[in-house]
Structure 1
Amino acid sequence: MRADYTNPLSPMDDYPIHQAAEPIRRVATSDRNFYDRYYFNCYPSADPDLFLIVGLGQYPNLGVTDAFAVLRRGNDHIVVRGSTALGNDRADTTVGPFRVEILEGLTRLRVVLAPGEYDLSFSLTFDATIPATLEPRHFRRQLERVTFDTSRFVQTGTWTGELTIDGRRHPVTPDTWRGNRDRSWGVRPVGEAEPPGRRAVEGNSNFFWIYAVMQFENYSISVILQEDERGRRIVEEAVRIWPDPGIEPEWLGRPEHKLTFAPGTRDVTSASLTFHRPGHGIATVTCDLLLPNYIGIGTGYGLESDWRHGMWQGEQVVEGLRKRVSEIEPGLRMFCPVDNLTRFHLSEGGETAVGTGLLEVAAIGPHTPYGFDSFTDTASDRGAPTEGMEQ
């Protein structure tokens, strides 16, 4: 239902959940970049040959809600995306054929892409295996403008349902299908690109980012870090999360990283993480990258000028697109966050545990520790190293 701006109330206003002296549909800031988003991923852990990612977001100050699904399977990059006007009811999480259903808050959710004329559809239920865990506040300012001010929680789980690709139905069962989800909200760049103003002279900020969500048999590990152009930390966290909600997440220490890039690109070919906790030995995670999903291609993360998260597309628009991964230009991949389906080998205290999950990497713009001096440097330019050094 399209928003009625003469009456700002919605059904959510009947619940005692207000955080500001405004109706629920009016957020506490007028910043155009405020967003509220769901993210899910789903994969078969026993034979990880496909990797599905689903997102749905609302943009109250832009009056838009949109959704996407992107599937990596072999050499296929399959996207379905939708956008529509944001209505009165913030609990209405539907965008055309997309739907997110909260079956039990913080425990069980369903994501749906109804069958249609596109190559992909699904009805999948997520059951959490760990408590939803709040991450550190993510904040960054540029030229006095707040560019990031977000909160997010993370959760691993299993999947049940079915996934249909090119007319072939794939049963999804919780014994082998895994994934993680997050919920984030706050301020970050969305919608149509703004005039750069002084930033055109001062230069845009880099975006160096590593986000890992590892699911082991008895626990999960979440790692988040962002660094500026010189390698200084903007946000960081490394915690072990236990299934029992009564057990506090275990701090693992300062996370460090070592990435290897393919020469002439910024494609990550291998990675390792280490955790340095005072009074404890160093724990090491070796990352086997199994299947990269180029989440920025066609989904709205800013690479295409005609489709960005929160961008007004019309009353209701649904589109599908399909690419061969081998045909995605290397230059475009340099500006694309990559969600790698990964097998993790954790070594600590003389023992090794093996898990699967997400390793999301973005190395966009300058980053001195890896020898990138500009947005277009690659691992072979100007003698840039293919491997970084732990700090």
Structure 2
Amino acid sequence: MYDSYSGLFGPADEYFNHQTTEPFASPVNSDPRFQDRCYFNLHTTEPDSFQLAFGMGNYPNLAVKDAYVIGRHGAAHFNILFSDDLDKRYRHELAVGALEIRVVEPMRRLAATLTDNPYGVTFELEFTARAELLMHKMLDKRFDGFEYLHQSHMTQGGTWRGEVRIDGQAIEIANYLGARDRSWGVRGNPPGSTDHAHFDALGRRLLGQSRYIWADFHFPDRVVHACCITDGETGEHFIMDGAVVPTEPDGRPPAHFVDWDWELGAKGEDGLRSEVALRFHDSHGGIHDYALRKIGNTFLMPHGWDDEKDDGNYRGPGYHHGFRKNLSDPADLAYFKDRPTYYHHTLVEVREGEEVGYGIFESFIHMTDLC
């Protein structure tokens, strides 16, 4: 293979897609938090059955890339992390550890492969869009003069086919519902920062006292996306976006959500909640009410692996880490209860009037409130 004597020139630079004078290996922003990321989910519609989420990111200004695979099959819950050095000239090669993602048809079809690894989970999957992608409003938020968030963001609903194998047991994936999320830009605390006082204060303000949701809901003729973070005390929206996207485009842009609220259901005898009512107001004056009922759960670990390092931190070449938990074992379930930094990645049945849909409702609520 020919290489470049000019340092950062790489294969992506052969295409006429440049928007700055820099090669693709060099982001125009030198912030160490600059990142390119993607996320996918797929699930059944059966209670406590099968869920899978995976994704990856690269951090060109840190020369780091990482990826994760998280899921459940019945009560068996697994979490896997990969991390490696990033050759910035080859950022377009979407592979970290055993996980690889391939663009089959831009904006319509993508494929994902998880090859043999020490954790007993492999898959060959393909995503096909069932609705147009939703380009969210530019996320741009500052706190006390500090740029905490500045990134582009899109989401898209689709279906999956292929096969997942867990400890040699094959699970056929045939038209499973799911979604993908794509973002790039600057967000969060600086990876590797040793002075956490200011950034931790921002994090507590952003998430600790706030209402946060990320959602994708599938109905027969539409997909609903939402991403919202609102200050629980002042009502200020840090992030407020989403929309209803029809599966058959009508030529009109979707009406983006401009406000939202929720009502948590009562706690059961076990002290947990399993129902939420959501209301969104859109830019055309429309109101969208959804009644959610939990039918499954997985636990994402974006900031709190066992090594307590955030995304984008350097863990060494060829790093991997994983573990299993049994969600029917109270001791294993307590492992997640004791870690409030976990996202609760909840499979829900969704009702809008008489119509029934299914999807993922992700929240940053402690498990004693909702799981």
TM superposition score category, shorter chain reference? 0.7 to 0.9
**Residue 141 of structure 2: aligned partner:** 140
* Separation (CA, whole Å) in 1 of partners of 2:271 and 2:138: 28
* Greater CA drift, 232-241 or 254-263: 254-263
Structure 2 counterpart of 1:334, from 335, 340, 345: 340
**Residue 216 of structure 2: aligned partner:** 213
> How far off its partner does 1:102 sit?
0.3
Q: Are the equivalent residues in 2 in contact too, given 1:265–1:378 (CA < 8 A)?
A: no
* Separation (CA, whole Å) in 2 of partners of 1:201 and 1:135: 27
**Residue 51 of structure 1: aligned partner:** 51
Q: Which residue identity does 1:20 align to in structure 2? A: T
> How far off its partner does 1:259 sit?
2.4
Count residues in correspondence: 358
SS in 2 for 1:248: coil
Q: Are the equivalent residues in 1 in contact too, given 2:164–2:170 (CA < 8 A)?
A: yes
Q: Are the equivalent residues in 1 in contact too, given 2:345–2:360 (CA < 8 A)?
A: yes
* Separation (CA, whole Å) in 1 of partners of 2:46 and 2:326: 25
**Residue 101 of structure 1: aligned partner:** 102
Distance 1:244 1:263, change over 3 A: closer
Q: Are the equivalent residues in 2 in contact too, given 1:303–1:335 (CA < 8 A)?
A: no
> How far off its partner does 1:4 sit?
8.3
Distance 1:201 1:355, change over 3 A: closer
Distance 1:201 1:238, change over 3 A: closer
SS in 1 for 2:20: coil
**Residue 236 of structure 1: aligned partner:** 240
* Separation (CA, whole Å) in 1 of partners of 2:194 and 2:202: 15
* Greater CA drift, 82-91 or 246-255: 246-255
Matched, 1:319 2:316: no
* Separation (CA, whole Å) in 1 of partners of 2:64 and 2:42: 26
**Residue 184 of structure 1: aligned partner:** 183
> How far off its partner does 1:204 sit?
4.0
**Residue 383 of structure 1: aligned partner:** none
* Separation (CA, whole Å) in 2 of partners of 1:202 and 1:172: 41
Distance 1:277 1:21, change over 3 A: closer
Distance 1:337 1:261, change over 3 A: farther
> How far off its partner does 1:276 sit?
3.7
Distance 1:362 1:200, change over 3 A: closer
Distance 1:201 1:265, change over 3 A: farther
Distance 1:80 1:201, change over 3 A: closer
Structure 1-normalised TM-score? Answer: 0.82
- CA offsets 1:62-107 (integer angstroms, 9 cap, x no match): 1011111011233322022211111121111111211000001110
**Residue 117 of structure 1: aligned partner:** 118
Structure 2-normalised TM-score? Answer: 0.87
* Greater CA drift, 329-338 or 150-159: 329-338
**Residue 359 of structure 1: aligned partner:** 361
* Separation (CA, whole Å) in 2 of partners of 1:35 and 1:360: 21
Segments of structure 2 that go 5 or more residues without pairing to the other structure are none
> How far off its partner does 1:358 sit?
1.0
* Separation (CA, whole Å) in 1 of partners of 2:219 and 2:206: 32
Distance 1:287 1:4, change over 3 A: farther
* Separation (CA, whole Å) in 2 of partners of 1:265 and 1:305: 31
**Residue 275 of structure 2: aligned partner:** 270
- CA offsets 1:291-322 (integer angstroms, 9 cap, x no match): 121102xxx42454444311111121223211
